[in-house]
């Protein structure tokens, strides 16, 4: 896959998606958002890619935010359309992606960058990372899911403080808040993400996809996540992976999932 603002590489069933606008600190413009959609759409059906790692180029920024110059003169309706399309094509698309997506947060993750990281299934960060939602300092609010996902991850009070103050937190604080799972050096960031991806690959990707759907349904209005869990648990019994996993356990051998 060839893109203007992304680099996509696949090795050992792990797809590395790197946002590549280092001169702009990897800021999200309309073209990059569309390329992210196209990249994930292609990876969804690519059997060579089972886990995705999302990161930014360089050591300064994961994504420093949205490209403000593109929407500084937008109308009310244009603003609504920007948020709606962005959420549908990228942020919600990644959140509900059937394959595991790990964010490797290298440096600044601000505004749309933090929202992008929060849309992944979990996050690891370099010790130089700074995370925040500065939108209220620009007279706007987070529009790519930040007001919804941040409280889910860190709690309402902490989310309110971060949004109202428009401040940044460091990687250690982000880990304390539960916003990121692990913190390491910039040199070890990708190796850590790849190690975690490797652990995931030892398990049934069919089961993991079902688990992602069940977990996500807990956060959807009008949907009972327990019902999804029951349904997906039962469905698991009809899969080849269940037969392989249980037989491997009973015969004291390592499972060989497809």
DSSP string, 7-23: EEEEETTEEEEEE--GG
Q: What's this model's pTM, rounded to 2 decimal places?
A: 0.96
Task: Report residues of the chain scoring pLDDT below 50.
Answer: none
Q: Convert the pLDDT of each residue in 36-50 to its tens digit.
A: 999 999 999 999 999
Query: What is the Cα–Cα distance from 189 to 104, expressed in whole angstroms?
Result: 7
Backbone angles phi, psi at 147, to 5 degrees: -70, -15
Strands 122-126 and 101-105: parallel
At residue 156, the pLDDT reads 98
Do residues 52 and 100 make contact, with C-beta atoms less than 8 angstroms apart? yes
pLDDT at 147: 98
* CB-based contact 126:182 (threshold 8 Å): no
Supply the residues annotated as catalytic: 115, 135
Q: Are 108 and 25 in contact (CB under 8 A)?
A: yes
Question: Strand pairing partners for 130?
Answer: 108, 170
Confidence at residue 95, expressed as pLDDT on a 0 to 100 scale: 98
* Cβ contact 113:106 at 8 Å: no
Q: How many CB atoms are located within 10 Å of the residue 142 CB?
A: 24
Chain center to CA of 132:
16
Residue indicated by tokens 């309110």: 160
């Amino acid at each position: 896959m060839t893109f203007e603002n992304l680099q996509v590489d696949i090795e050992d069933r792990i797809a590395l998606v790197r946002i590549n606008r280092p001169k702009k600190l990897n800021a999200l413009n309309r073209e990059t958002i569309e390329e992210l959609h196209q990249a994930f759409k292609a990876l969804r059906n690519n059997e060579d890619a089972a886990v995705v790692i999302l990161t930014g180029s360089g050591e300064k920024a994961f994504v420093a935010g949205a490209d403000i110059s593109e929407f500084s003169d937008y109308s009310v309706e244009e603003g609504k359309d920007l948020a709606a399309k962005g959420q549908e094509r990228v942020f919600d698309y990644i959140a509900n992606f059937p394959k595991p997506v790990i964010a490797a947060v290298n440096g600044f993750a601000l505004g749309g960058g933090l929202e992008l990281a929060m849309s992944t299934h979990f996050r690891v960060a370099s010790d130089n990372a700074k995370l925040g939602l500065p939108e209220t300092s620009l007279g706007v609010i987070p529009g790519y899911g930040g007001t919804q996902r941040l409280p889910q991850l860190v709690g309402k009070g902490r989310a309110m403080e971060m949004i109202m103050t428009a401040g940044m937190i460091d990687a250690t604080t982000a880990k304390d808040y539960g916003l990121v799972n692990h913190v390491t050096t910039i040199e070890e960031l990708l190796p850590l993400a790849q190690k975690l991806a490797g652990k995931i690959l030892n398990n049934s990707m069919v089961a993991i996809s079902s688990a992602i759907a069940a977990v996500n349904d807990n956060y959807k209005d009008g949907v009972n996540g327990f019902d999804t869990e029951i349904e997906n648990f039962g469905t698991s019994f009809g899969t080849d992976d269940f037969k392989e996993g249980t037989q491997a356990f009973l015969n004291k051998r390592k499972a060989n999932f497809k």
